[in-house]
Amino acid sequence: MREVYQEQLGMLTDVLGSMSAMVGTAMERATKSLLEADLSLAEQVIDEDSLVDEARSRAEEYAFGLLALQAPVAGDLRSVIATIHAAEDMERMGDLALHVAKAARRRHPNAVLPDDVAAYFAEMGRIAVKLANQVSTVIKTQDIEAARLLDEVDDEMDDLHRHLFTVMMSPDWEHGVATAVDVTLLGRFYERFADHAVAVARRVEFIVTGKMPSR
């Protein structure tokens, strides 16, 4: 019984690992499409979001199978539920990459971002991809120390996000209100992407330690 449980949990974990890789790639491409006004790349992210949704359904099906056939209790039960939450977080990360790609498509062939904020988004994109990769590692290795590292990287994202507001609020801002609205929403998409990555890492920490980190 225990072996079957571990084997099935392993399959579930594999799906979660592939989801984090997918949403990392999606955000990498979405950022590139945004910075380079690359329509076909934006279209690709938009088309492939359904793959993330399918992976999420697959993860839930594995979890349902585990719950129905193994009827886990206590810590095992909480672990399975944590994987369901993690899959939901990652589906949302995929949606946020999709929103970025849609913004790039909406303004095409114009660039969404003026040059002086593009650098911020290049950096926010880099951090988002880094977080998604760290999530993959954490899911694969169940390394708690690695899970905790995500908080620091998320702090970098929050710093950048705050700076972005400073740039828009400055009297030197000369790109008008429409661009500020775009930048505000896009900034929020990256920040939320990072929040969900941290949430997934915490759920893995919970699965390993049995305690939800409170920090």
Q: How many CA atoms lie within 13 A of 30 on its CB side?
A: 32
Residue 188 near a second copy by CB under 8 A: yes
Neighbour tally for 199: CB within 10 Å: 18
Member of 152, 178, 211, 215 binding a second copy (CB under 8 A): 178
**Least CB distance from residue 15 to a second copy, whole Å?**
16
Residue 74 near a second copy by CB under 8 A: yes
- Classify burial at 10, counting beta carbons within 10 Å of its beta carbon; exposed 0-12, middle 13-18, buried 19 or more: exposed
Residue 73 near a second copy by CB under 8 A: yes
φ and ψ of 59, to 5 deg: -60, -45
Annotate each residue in 76-95 with x if it binds a second copy (CB under 8 A) or - if it does not, as one string: -xx--x--xx--x-------
Residue 68 near a second copy by CB under 8 A: yes
**What is the distance between the alpha carbons of residues 42 and 39, in angstroms, rounded to a whole number?**
5
**Least CB distance from residue 1 to a second copy, whole Å?**
13
Single out the segment in contact with a second copy by CB under 8 A; choices: 14-22, 60-68, 106-114, 115-123. 60-68
**Least CB distance from residue 133 to a second copy, whole Å?**
25
Name which of 57 and 141 has its Cβ closer to a second copy.
57
Residue 21 near a second copy by CB under 8 A: no
Q: Which two tokens stand for residue 157?
A: 């994202």
**Least CB distance from residue 75 to a second copy, whole Å?**
11
- Kindly state the helix (H) or strand (E) to which residue 28 belongs, with its residue range: helix 2-36
**What is the distance between the alpha carbons of residues 79 and 212, in angstroms, rounded to a whole number?**
11
3 state SS of 171: coil
Helices 74-107 and 176-209, axial angle in degrees (round to 10)? 160
Q: Which residue has the tokens 């609020």?
A: 169
**Least CB distance from residue 187 to a second copy, whole Å?**
9
Residue 181 near a second copy by CB under 8 A: yes
Applying CB under 8 A, the residues found at the interface with a second copy are 60, 63-64, 67-68, 71, 73-74, 77-78, 81, 84-85, 88, 165, 168-169, 173, 176-178, 180-181, 184-185, 188
